[in-house]
Amino acid sequence: MAAPKPPPPPQDDSQLPTYLGVSFALFLATLPSSTGARHVASLHSRGRLLAARLLAAEDQLRQLRARRREDARANARAAEIFAGHRAAWMEAERRLLARAAAAGDEAASLRARLSEAEAEAAALRGRVERLEREAAERDELLTALLAATSRAGGSGGEEGERVLRDAREQEGEHDPVRLPPLDPPETTDAEALAAAAALYAQQRQKNDDDFYTAATAASGMPPWMDPSKGWQDLKYDTVESTYNTKHAVPRRESPWKVDVESSGVPAKLRLLEQELINLEKVVNGDLSKIPLVMRKQVKRYQTLAGKIDDLCKRMQTSDPCDSTLSSEFRTQRQTEFLLEAFHLQHRATETRQKLSTLQAETAKSSFGDELTAEAKMCTRRALSSIRNNFKEIQRSLEIWLARILGDLEGMLARDGASRIREYFLSPYASAVR
């Protein structure tokens, strides 16, 4: 039988508690009985205090662990939010880069278009220079023509015929419009000047001297001047035949610079309103509808006067005689105002027709048997005064529109005549003399 194994040597950890226990027992044995009991009680109280502190420390430790877990979750959420923001920032950065690239491409295309526009401008400048040279050549040709036709005698006539034939050949190369045939021995300077003016009118008619836009053709209104007649057939009316001296507007002031109050129409309309109120107080029977129809006519006059006043205000804002504008733009503005004035004149004609209808209805109406003789007399006087006021208002508005139309037509005629003088008369004044 095998011998039992000797027990393992005691460990240091098992001897230390034994030593402490024996030492504590000896310590208690040496103490008196009363002192030992008190010492044990104090140790028990200290143990309970330490146990309470241990529980508090464990509670704090649990709270710290819970806070750590909450902080970890908050950090995770913050990381997720930051990651989302970072993705949005990266997407915005990509969009901005794409927009920058598109802007660069657009800038390149704009630079290309700018270069094309500069090339077109250079081509247009070259064309303008070429046209100016052609115009100068034509001026020289017409000057030579006038000089040749002014000479008398057979030799002068033959030379004028030769110059005229050369002029026709050279003019046919540049423009299909031919010079009018002239008889050199019998043609005077005035006739040659008229022929050159007719040639200029035909050339301007084929190119850019057209005062009538598409709006004029669409409106169906007759043109204020026939372009085929040329400028030499243009007739000018005198100021006395255009403007009525009895009109309330001063003669020395343009009609479109006058406001509606200065025309006297609003005062007459207010007086007419008062007369209609007085008429409504006394009429009955068949005349009961007359004041309503008259009020409609008053509304028509108020509307027409307001439109004319609005046209005058816009003409004052955009002056049709502004010398700083180009002749083409100034002519276009004057033509637009002229068309609108024609439209208002048509409205005034319609208003006059409605006034005639109203007067006919008033004449057919009866006073009724309920009115006394005095009331009938007052009614007749009121109707007569209202008719006169209607006629005066109609006449004032028509005269106002006629003055505006005459002023605009005069502007267009003056601009056309001045353009002929600038282009034609001044280069050949010395030759004619």
Q: Which of 298, 289, 299 is nearest to 361 (CA)?
A: 289
> What does the block give as tokens for 137?
């050549």
Q: How would DSSP label each residue in 4-58? A: PPPPPPPPHHHHHHHHHHHHHHHHHHHS-HHHHHHHHHHHHHHHHHHHHHHHHHH
- For residues 315 and 303, give the distance between their C-alpha atoms in angstroms, rounded to a whole number: 18
CB contact at 8 A, 238 and 283:
no
Average pLDDT score over residue span 120-132 = 92
Q: Which of 11-20, 56-65, 185-194, 253-262 has the highest mean pLDDT?
A: 56-65
pLDDT above 90 for 60: yes
Element (H, E) at 408: helix 373-420
pLDDT above 60 for 99: yes
Place of tokens 């004057």: 334
Domain range list for the chain? 245-432
Query: In this predicted model, which residue has the larger pLDDT, 96 or 9?
Result: 96
> What does the block give as tokens for 101?
């690239």
Q: Which of 19-23, 64-68, 298-302, 306-310 has the lowest mean pLDDT?
A: 19-23
Q: How confident is the model at residue 150 (pLDDT cuts 50, 70, 90)?
A: low
Q: How confident is the model at residue 91 (pLDDT cuts 50, 70, 90)?
A: very high
pLDDT 10s digits, 389-418:
888 889 888 888 888 888 888 887 776 644
Residues 6+ apart with CB under 8 A from 385: 275
Q: For residue 206, what are the CA distances in angstroms to 90, 175, 176, 334?
A: 64, 10, 11, 21
Q: What is the pTM of this model?
A: 0.38
Q: Which amino acid belongs to residue 308?
A: I
317-346 b/e with 16+ CB inside 10 Å = b? eeebeeeeeeeeebbebbbbbbbbbbebbe
CB contact at 8 A, 191 and 181:
no
At residue 55, the pLDDT reads 94
At residue 288, the pLDDT reads 58
Q: What is the mean pLDDT of the chain?
A: 71
